[in-house]
Amino acid sequence: MKSSAIAVSGLRKAYGDKAVLDGIDFEVAAGTVFSLLGPNGAGKTTTVNVLATLLRADAGTVLVAGHDVATATRQVRAAIGVTGQFAAVDDLLTGRENLRLMADLKRVPSGDRVVTGLLERFDLVESADRTVSAYSGGMRRKLDLAMTLVGRPRIIFLDEPTTGLDPRSRRTMWGIVRELVAEGTTVFLTTQYLEEADQLADRIAVLDQGRLVAQGTPDELKRRIPGTHVRLRFADLDELDTAARILTGATRDDQELILRVPSDGESRSLRALLDRLDEHMINAQEFSVHTPDLDDVFLALTGRTSAEVIAQ
């Protein structure tokens, strides 16, 4: 059994009379990726800020790297690296100078080598000596994460690291997270994307209005939500009836005239499904492949969609 890198129990935080975190408990094993999944306003950033010593909790205990964040703040800070939602870089310095600043503040021996290594790893060598104000959003994120990695912190907090990134940068970011874990780093990651949590995390916790509504491995969690399925919409009830009879395992919605057929979404099985409809001369007016997203998770776990959660 691995020791806990992070242990949180009974964590509460309120702003005024609005409870942002309403008693949450979880543990993160050392060397694993833990993902906190939730829509905007669920309390993800507040959680990160408390764990990263930027915010004091109202109640509960939080141990990070074995130290209490409330009493052993310095020891916690020495063990962690934080990349927030908004790139914390110095615009007037160059990329290299930003990294050098981190290396100096952390008293990293042979800082030049570390800085050069990170610039290469994050593909920032060409723009290393340009001031950061000229960087693109993706480059700023990369530099931000590189700055966090200076001095090899044992535990890294990433608050929505891929929000607003293009798909390619997102994949790069995922690759970096996997490398970090391979090196033994513990990663605490918040995200709005189920796919991201699924791709990266060893354990996922779903946060909804300051409470954890589910916790488990990605597989455990996915068992509780509808899997990938094909949605077919028909013109009338007769066609829906016929289709429901020939496609086993489907669930129907008479009101919307929709049939949901479980499927792996691969082309071969989709072709088989369409062929089957053709054999019985049935035409679906609408056809779509639906992969579960955060909305499905929320609908399954809380009975509401994430949009409804935000609207409240």
Partner 1 sequence: MSTVSTAFCDSAIMLRRNFKHTVRNPVTVFNAILFPVVMMLMFVYVFGGAFKVQGRYVDYAVPGLLVMAISYGLGATATAVNDDMTKGVINRFKAMDVSRGAVLTGHVVATTVRGLIADAVILGVGFAMGFRSDASLLDWLAAIGVMLLLGFGASWLTVAMGLAAKTVESAGMATVPLIMLPFLSSAFVPADTMGTGVRQFAEYQPFTPVIETLRGLLSGHHASAGDMFAALAWCVGFAVVGYVWAVSTFKKRA
Choice between 53 and 215, CB closer to partner 1: 53
Structure tokens at 72: 């052993």
Choice between 34 and 157, CB closer to partner 1: 157
Q: How far is the CB of 76 from partner 1 (least distance, A)?
A: 9
Report d(CA 5, CA 134) in Å as an integer: 37
Q: How far is the CB of 197 from partner 1 (least distance, A)?
A: 23
Residues that bind partner 1 (CB under 8 A): 52-54, 74, 77-78, 80, 82, 84, 86-93, 97, 101, 104-107, 131, 147-148
Choice between 86 and 113, CB closer to partner 1: 86
Q: How far is the CB of 227 from partner 1 (least distance, A)?
A: 39
Beta-carbon contacts of residue 38 (< 8 Å; ≥ 6 apart): 44, 190, 192, 206, 207, 208
Choice between 150 and 282, CB closer to partner 1: 150
Choice between 39 and 84, CB closer to partner 1: 84
Q: How far is the CB of 96 from partner 1 (least distance, A)?
A: 11
Q: How far is the CB of 156 from partner 1 (least distance, A)?
A: 11
Q: How far is the CB of 85 from partner 1 (least distance, A)?
A: 9
Choice between 16 and 249, CB closer to partner 1: 16
Choice between 78 and 165, CB closer to partner 1: 78
Q: How far is the CB of 178 from partner 1 (least distance, A)?
A: 24
